[in-house]
Each structure stands twice: as structure tokens, then as C-alpha cells.
Amino acid sequence: MHQIHRVNRFYDFKIDKRRLQDVLRTKIGNNPVNENINDAAKNLTDAITETCAEVLPKRVKKNSLRPPWWNTDVTTSKTNLNREKRRLLREATAEAKIAFNAARNAHVSNIRRAKFSLWKKFAEERISGNQTWGKLTKWLIRGRQEPKVPTVLVRQDGTYTDNLDDTIELMVKELIPHSEHDTLPVAQPSELRPATIELDELRLVVWRQKNRAPGADGISAKS
């Protein structure tokens, strides 16, 4: 019987290659010289694994939150569905296809039943708090509310603004007064020079960035 080892997963980006090489070189150098091929392969594998565990950050599995309608029946049908899916990928026969379809239909039925049961319980039972139904139900009951921001203002001559753009223009003129005789600022050349950035400093900044969605340039931190 073969022993099953737990596979450690590491991040394969933002690697300190210099430190990785130094640690791996040290661990390989500590291995005995005269050894057979099996021991050499095992020692090399252990050295690489220990080096990765020491240098590379490990991937942490995120705990996914299950929806509020999830129950034991859905868990059981999900387990059966995964089992039949693996069987279908392994055998690819007509019977496996029929069993997979039956498990899938049962799982979908359990999900619908669980959602309906939770919604019925939510609708029938009284729940404490003022935000039970949320903004959607308030909008359905009260209808569309008029904006609280004034859309019509009175000018100094007694006339009213015609639309929202006219109101915004009047507010800007009244709050930020200006004159045609105001002197415009003249752009002065800057005496600042680009700072010299070392490679290690730039690498440290890149490592601290999170691999989030790309910006307008389409480039993420991983790229």
C-alpha cells in the first residue's frame, strides 16, 4: 500500500528567486554524496519541498459561506451528484449518464425545495428589526420618492432656473465667484526630478501588491 502524502500548494508568483536558490542549494548540499538513485530522488524531493515551505507563501483555502437556504438534504444530494459525476468521467457509459442525470435532477429539486421553504418561513414569521424587508419592498410599498436635492433655485434678479443643469451652473457661480479680470495662474516648471528607484525597492513594492482585478490598462499585479 502506497502512502498518500498531503500536497502543499504554494503561490507561484512574487518569488524571491535569490533566496530560493540559496536555501535550495544549502539543503541539497547537506545530502550525502554516496547514495542510490531512490534515496537521491527522495532527498531531492524533500529538499525542494522544505525549501518551498520555508520561502514561498502557502495558499490558504478560503472558507466559502453557504447560502441561508442550505440544509442537510442539499448536502446529501450534492455529495451524490459529485460521486456520479466522477463515475461518469471515469466510465462514460450510458448507465453512468442516466445515474448522473438522476442525481443532478434530485439535487436541483432539493435546492428549489429548500429555497421555497426558507422564503415561506421568512414571509410567515415575524422577524425583529426595522430593516427586515429592505429597500426593495419599501420602494414597492411607497413608490418612487422624489429627490431631496433642490432642482430649482432663485436667481438674484428673481427668476428661476429652468432645469438641473441651469441649477448646477447657478450654484457654481454663487459658491465659487469669479471675475473676468481675475488673473489666471501661470504654470511654473517644476524643479523636482524623478527619484532613483532601486530594483530591490521596486520588487518589494510589487510583492506587497494584491492580485486584484486589473485597472484601465488591463494589467494585474500578477502580470
pLDDT digits (tens, 9 = 90+) for 149-190: 667 888 888 888 888 888 888 888 888 767 677 677 777 777
> 3-state class of 74 per DSSP?
helix
Question: Which residue, 32, 11, 33, 7, is CA-closest to 20?
Answer: 11
**Which residues in the chain come in under a pLDDT of 70?**
1-9, 11-13, 59-63, 125-137, 140, 146-150, 177, 179, 182, 211-223
Note whether 111 and 74 are within 8 A (CB).
yes
Q: The pTM is what?
A: 0.36
Note whether 72 and 111 are within 8 A (CB).
no
- The dihedral formed by the CA atoms of 37, 41, 43 and 47, expressed in degrees to the nearest 10: 150
E-assigned strand segments in 11-79: none
Q: Is 51 exposed, middle or buried (0-12, 13-18, 19+ CB in 10 A)?
A: buried
Q: Which pLDDT value is given to residue 3?
A: 43
Bridge partners, residue 160, by sequence:
154
* Whole-number Å distance between alpha carbons of 44 and 49: 9
